[in-house]
Structure 1
Amino acid sequence: MKRRFGPDGVHLFDRSTGLNMLIDEVRIPRHQWSAAPRQVSIALTNTCDLACSYCYAPKHRAQLSTPQLCHWMDELDGAGCLGVGFGGGEPTLYGRLADVCAHAAERTQLAVTLTTHGHRWDAELIARLRGAVHFVRVSVDGVGATYERLRRRSFETLRERLELIGSSFAFGLNCVVNADTVDDLTAVAELAAWHGAAELLLLPESPTVRTTGITARVAAQMEEWVLAYPGPVRLAISEGWTAGLTVAIPLPREAGTRSYAHVDATGTVRPSSYSTAGQAIGADGILAALERLAAQESA
């Protein structure tokens, strides 16, 4: 199991099973805390073959260099990071996806997750990623006609892809919650249970240059649904959205960039994928950029 040291104690993590253990009886001196965030999301590319109206990803062309990315993963692994989450854009459009996943699996102790729309998955891609990806998150915003109107892809084809992905990987569903999708939450949860998903992650829509984000009325409707939810699939919600809900916070002292950071497709590290604050990752590496970002945030 990989060890991580922080203000809450010693965190042990097994990437193969997803098991987390916290030894909180131990107090770790500050100078021994792990330097890297616990989790880092990485946009491999801005390219996507869908055009969802509520997408927050930048639309200018950009993608990361594979050698640089592998070096950053080595740095993060050595500094106590537990996992990287590859997204985009659509990560399956990144030409060397299998190479970077294999590097993480074979050369580091990092857990690898992918966030994908799922439509490009086939037997060949699964064979290339099997053993190098530990969890797959499939974006499913609504079901049936709602899904097809928003994503402009066949819902039945999506279900075929979920069966294919679930045959080889642990996986979960992500659902952006807005006025279009909130009435489909029960059906999305049933879809997750039917296909054997381990988790349903709710993502209240964030404002973008094109959208205003989730409204107070829809947020209240979502919270009412969560409080009444009886299903078997574990629910999760994007960090920072806790109004009206009781959520588990196992590491309360590990906050900000000590907990999470995002790297965009230009090689800029940010506090989150929505943040305008950031620091370019230079020749001195990702940990140095994270230090500059922390200083910028506290100034």
Structure 2
Amino acid sequence: MNVLLDEVPVPAEQFSRAPRYLSVALTNACELHCAYCYAPKHAAALERERVLAWAVELDAAGCLGVGFGGGEPTAYRRFAQLCSDIAQSTSMAVTFTTHGHRLTPKLVESLRGAVHFVRLSVDGVGTTYKRLRSRRFAAVVQAAGLLGTLAPFGINAVINADTVSELDDLAEFSDKVGASELLLLPEQPTAATPGISDADAQRLVEWAAIARTGVRLAISRTGLEAALPTAEAIPGEHPLDAHMHIDATGVLRPHAYAPTGLSVGIRIMEAVHALREAP
């Protein structure tokens, strides 16, 4: 099926009021301690009823999907029930990003029919993965096998000095385990790390420009995408129409790396409107 999204210009007043996609950090909790992780380290978690109410409101305003992260979303209390409630109460796609080490056959079964796509974080392969995450690589291979029985899934990989030389291996791994996509995440600066170097960023761009992989490639919006032949879902779409992010304290931000945002009250669409109007 071919869909021409830009054949007929649509007046701005007819756009959906909600962003096309909302990412939600349900909790800051995570048992891994990756040095380059950008997620806040203070304890915080969103109330389940609050998240469900936001999802229903967003759905009514035209949002197409919600994606759960953290921290580690599978560490969130009654995570599977929340996914099920949203899937039953809205028409939105439900996705989540996980390190995979909490996945069990029982949890996967409880999520069946409630999630539409999953992202598995795999930063490096083999001994590199074990060194960066202090977990066996075999365990993440097993997690990929479990996810393959649940829903379509993709692989996320933070690209930095430790992993940029393993891009071919990451693509091969993604293809081998049946992932539909490899999402490249250039490391972002944190209080503890400087982010990806200019030299490694250039290596990433050069690799992605000529790579011939068995899996679809994608890259996060960090500026490097401008140097690559990427396909925009909706050409000319404003970033805040495409995506917004809520952190585990209930602050709505333009994206997960944004330093500031607006606190969300009972009605999330009020915060969405205010964020769009903010200078």
Deviations 1:177-219 (A, max 9, x none): 0000001111111111111000000000011111111111001
Q: How big is the shift at 1:279? A: 0.5
Change (3 A) 1:20 1:203: farther
Deviations 1:131-158 (A, max 9, x none): 0010110000000010000010000111
Q: Determine which of 86, 98, 123 is the counterpart of 1:116.
A: 98
**Secondary structure of the residue that 2:204 maps to in structure 1?**
helix
Amino acid at match of 1:266: T
Q: How big is the shift at 1:121? A: 0.5
Higher relative contact order (CA 8 A, sep 6+): 2
Q: 1:250 and 1:282 mapped to 2: Cα distance?
A: 30
Q: How big is the shift at 1:22? A: 4.6
Q: How big is the shift at 1:253? A: 2.4
Question: Aligned pair count?
Answer: 278
Q: How big is the shift at 1:32? A: 1.9
Residue equivalent to 1:15 = none
Q: Determine which of 120, 141, 146 is the counterpart of 2:128.
A: 146
Q: 2:157 and 2:9 mapped to 1: Cα distance?
A: 38
Q: 2:3 and 2:159 mapped to 1: Cα distance?
A: 31
Q: Which range moves more in the overlay, 142-151 or 166-175? A: 166-175
2:168 corresponds to 1:186: yes
Q: How big is the shift at 1:25? A: 2.8
Residue equivalent to 2:229 = 246
Residue equivalent to 1:199 = 181
Q: How big is the shift at 1:231? A: 1.2
Residue equivalent to 2:260 = 277
Q: 1:268 and 1:238 mapped to 2: Cα distance?
A: 21
The Cα RMSD (Å) is 1.3
**Secondary structure of the residue that 1:242 maps to in structure 2?**
helix
CA contact (8 A) 2:73 2:96 kept: yes
Amino acid at match of 1:123: P
Q: Determine which of 24, 48, 70 is the counterpart of 2:52.
A: 70
Q: Determine which of 139, 163, 171 is the counterpart of 2:153.
A: 171
Amino acid at match of 2:48: T
2:195 corresponds to 1:209: no
Residue equivalent to 1:8 = none
Q: How big is the shift at 1:256? A: 2.1
Q: Determine which of 119, 124, 134 is the counterpart of 2:116.
A: 134
Residue equivalent to 2:213 = 231
CA contact (8 A) 2:172 2:214 kept: no
Q: 1:96 and 1:274 mapped to 2: Cα distance?
A: 27
Question: TM-score, normalising length from structure 2?
Answer: 0.96
Amino acid at match of 1:219: A
Q: Determine which of 83, 93, 118 is the counterpart of 2:75.
A: 93
* Pairs within 5 Å for 1:246-265: 246-265=229-248
Change (3 A) 1:126 1:34: same
Residue equivalent to 2:12 = 30
**Secondary structure of the residue that 2:183 maps to in structure 1?**
strand
Q: 1:162 and 1:20 mapped to 2: Cα distance?
A: 31
Q: Determine which of 43, 46, 52 is the counterpart of 2:34.
A: 52
Structure 2: gaps spanning 5 or more residues: none
Q: How big is the shift at 1:30? A: 2.3
Q: 2:3 and 2:58 mapped to 1: Cα distance?
A: 20
Q: 2:227 and 2:56 mapped to 1: Cα distance?
A: 39
Q: 1:276 and 1:161 mapped to 2: Cα distance?
A: 32
Residue equivalent to 1:105 = 87
Amino acid at match of 2:268: I
Residue equivalent to 1:160 = 142
